[in-house]
Chain A
Amino acid sequence: MTTPTASRSTGTRATRVIGIAAIVMSAWLWLFGLVLSPADVTQGDAVRIMYVHVPSVWLAYLAFVVTAVCSVWVLVARGRVPGVDRVAGASAEIGVVFMAVTLVSGMLGGRITWGVYWQWDARLTTTALLFITYVGYLAVRGLEGTPDQRARRAAVVGVVAVA
């Protein structure tokens, strides 16, 4: 915290409950994904990559949709909604992380199942471009300027990126 008077943590009861639930669920997933579920008939243990790959790509796309919707909201409201802007930014960060997880896990899985790390098909290429676009989005958020200016600039990139 920046002010000495506010020495409390930023957590609330809700975030702590969500955090504990996330730890418990992760342990549960590891148990099922890595130990209890059998290996695939054709892919063998490589199928376990899919347990990471598919959910992370869905999460990444969901995050980018949230960023896009919030960006449109910021533009329509002419930048007077700092909360929406923060959701857009946070969502883009989550999206970039999970898109990176998707690309890396997809390349590893692709190497095992197709024999190559990368294939130039439309889905892979657009996903990679989307990843770079949102890296650019985060870079725009890092530019100098007032928070309002930053919100509007980022929103423009968020909208153009989707289109």
Chain B
Amino acid sequence: MSAHNSRKSAAPGVVTTALMIAGRDLRIELRARVVTNQVIPFAAVTMVLFAFAVDDTGLLGRLAPGLIWLTVMFSLLLCAQRAFAIESADGALEALRVAGVDPIGIFLGKAMALMAQLLALSAVMVVAALVLYDLSPPAAGAVVLVTSVICATCALAATGTIYAGLAAGVSGRETLLPLLVLPVVSPVLIGATRAVEAALGTGEATVADGWPWVGLLAVVAVASVVIGSLTFGSAIQD
């Protein structure tokens, strides 16, 4: 009885579990450098290809926020795929589940690690857009820019984690994941594009016009985290 109790008290809480899993995922990324060496270059090439396709600097500047987020969304598919490839390769996810690790903790941890990677990616993409697409954003837009990027990457990471976890280890997941993820994250694309448009001053919108869109992004982010926490256990169960 006492052994049982001590084991129970030793079980980490949801937050601790999430931080441990996020830390482990980021450590794997630091060692393997898949996002750094493969996904970020892919995203950069996509930004350059957009420039080839549009071939008009003025138009590119106006399209820049949308192109940034399209690139981040395509990269999300790769990162989410990768996040669960490292789980299913050695049956790690199954081991976590069998060990009785709280699925909410797993979900939050995976989503946090994915969000950290997407944040880094978005930062690189914004800088790439500033350089490649010849933008001169107002300094006042920085706060809107940063908060919208944080909210949008949170929503994208949560949604990507739900679906990638669902399809982990199933054959045909590479082609299924885009079909599942892209329609669901389309509100994020719309909100994030409008908010960044306001922040970078590429459209007619002023910086203050960005805040309602940031609010929308925050609502979507909270909703996807809550839904993910509630459903992830069912998604990964055998």
The reply to whether chain A is a binding partner of chain B is yes
User: Which residues from chain A sit less than 8 Å from chain B, CB to CB?
Assistant: 75, 78-79, 129-130, 132-133, 135-136, 139-140, 143-146, 149, 152-153, 155-157, 159-161, 163
Inter-chain pairs besides A79-B234, A144-B170, A156-B166, 13 sampled, C-beta below 8 Å: A132-B183, A136-B179, A139-B179, A143-B170, A143-B176, A146-B238, A149-B238, A152-B234, A152-B235, A157-B163, A157-B180, A160-B227, A163-B224
Closest to A152 in B: B234
B183 touches A136 (CB 8 A): yes
- CB of B162 within 8 Å of the partner chain: yes
Per-residue interface assignment for chain B, residues 210 to 238, with 1 indicating a CB less than 8 Å from any chain A CB and 0 otherwise: 00000000000001100100110011011
Count of chain B residues with Cβ under 8 Å from any Cβ of A? Answer: 23
Say yes or no: A129 contacts B186, CB within 8 Å.
yes
Task: Give the interface SS of chain B, mostly helix, strand, loop or mixed.
Answer: helix
User: In whole angstroms, what is the CA distance A114 to B166 when docked?
Assistant: 42
Evaluate contact between A133 and B231: CB separation under 8 angstroms. Answer: no
Closest-CB distance, A130 to chain B (whole angstroms): 8
Q: With A and B bound together, what is the CA distance between A152 and B163 in angstroms?
A: 13
Residues of B within 8 A of A159 (CB): 227, 231
B residues contacting A by CB (< 8 A) are 159, 162-163, 166-167, 170-172, 176, 179-180, 183-184, 186, 223-224, 227, 230-231, 234-235, 237-238
Pull 8 A–B residue pairs with CB atoms less than 8 Å apart, ordered by A: A132-B179, A133-B184, A136-B179, A143-B167, A143-B176, A144-B170, A160-B159, A160-B231
Contacts of B183 in A (CB 8 A): 129-130, 132-133, 136
In the complex, what residues of B have CB within 8 A of residue A146's CB? 238
Pair A75/B184 contact, Cβ less than 8 Å: no
5 nearest A-B residue pairs (beta carbon): A152-B234, A156-B235, A156-B231, A136-B179, A136-B180
Nearest B residue to A128 via CB reads B183
Taking CB atoms, residues of chain B closer than 8 Å to A130 are 183
Complex CA gap A146/B184 in Å reads 26
The answer for the CA separation of A163 and B230 in the assembled complex, in Å, is 13
